[in-house]
């Protein structure tokens, strides 16, 4: 479903005229804002299959800090592999990195741990690795990253669209204040059910992420 199709889906439910473009009227633009708000809520509710990607980082000798290009601030790192060394990399604390980089002799070698150090000027996540690379290593960061703000009519929505439409419809009902039928509270319940169902379907692909063990 495209951005414009989602807007028109909500407009039909409101018994409003459909729009030929997102910015056709102030009201269609408002519904577009609700679609973006709902999309963000849905995206943050689960690490969806459609949002998962692998970001490759190639290290350089003596360089310990790298940007995860294209990740955005809200990306979730699922796992990291040093592909050159055929090993998983672990996440360590900032205190650990302060200790190994500043409180003892610096070690160079094959990176096997990483930590987050903020974001760069492009709002992408930055990481620091240890040991400090002594050459070229290919690191693979498996992430779940959110889609950017929807703006163009034909932009395809990546995550399941039904929860987004249902939630945006609920937001529109709440904003309107009168519905002549279904209340906003009832519609938010419908949206919540749609989101739960979509998560359950997608979660079946990742049983290891929904199985918890007592330790």
* Cβ–Cβ < 8 Å for 143, 78: yes
pLDDT of residue 182: 76
Residue 208 confidence (pLDDT):
86
How many other β-carbons are positioned within 10 Å of the β-carbon of residue 144?
19
Nearest-5° angle of CA 9, CA 12, CA 43?
A: 25
CA nearest neighbour of 146 among 6, 52, 55:
52
Instruction: Indicate the DSSP class of residue 51.
Output: G
In the predicted model, is pLDDT for residue 180 greater than 80? no
- Sign, CA dihedral 39-45-50-55, equals positive
Q: Does 213 have pLDDT greater than 90?
A: no
Mean of pLDDT values over 88-114 = 96
pLDDT in tens, 103-156: 999 999 999 999 999 999 999 999 999 999 999 999 999 999 999 999 999 999
- Going through the chain in order, the beta strands assigned E by DSSP cover 52-58, 65-67, 76-82, 87-91, 108-109, 113-119, 125-130, 132-133, 138-144
Whole-model pTM: value is 0.89
- The CA distance from 67 to 139, in Å, is 12
Q: Indicate the angle between helix axes 26-43 and 184-203, nearest 10 degrees.
A: 40
**pLDDT of 181 higher than 80:** no
Q: Which two tokens stand for residue 117?
A: 């150090």
């Amino acid at each position: 479903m495209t951005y414009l199709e989602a807007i028109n889906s909500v407009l039909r439910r409101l018994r409003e005229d459909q729009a030929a473009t997102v910015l056709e009227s102030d009201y269609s633009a408002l519904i577009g804002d609700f679609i973006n708000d709902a999309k963000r809520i849905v995206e943050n509710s689960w690490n969806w299959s459609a949002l998962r990607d692998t970001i490759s980082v190639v290290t350089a000798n003596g360089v310990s800090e790298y940007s995860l290009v294209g990740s955005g601030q809200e990306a979730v790192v699922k796992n990291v592999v040093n592909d050159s060394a055929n090993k998983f990399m672990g996440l360590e604390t900032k205190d650990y990195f302060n200790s190994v980089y500043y409180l003892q002799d610096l070690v160079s070698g094959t990176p096997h741990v990483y930590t987050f150090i903020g974001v760069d000027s492009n709002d992408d996540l930055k990481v620091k690795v240890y040991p400090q690379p002594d050459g070229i290593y290919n690191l693979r960061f498996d992430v779940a990253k959110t889609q950017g703000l929807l703006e163009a009519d034909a932009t395809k929505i990546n995550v399941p669209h039904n929860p987004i439409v249902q939630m945006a419809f609920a937001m529109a009902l709440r904003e309107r204040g009168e519905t002549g039928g279904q209340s906003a509270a009832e519609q938010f319940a419908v949206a919540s059910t749609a989101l739960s169902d979509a998560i359950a379907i997608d979660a079946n692909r990742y049983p290891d992420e929904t199985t918890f063990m007592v330790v």
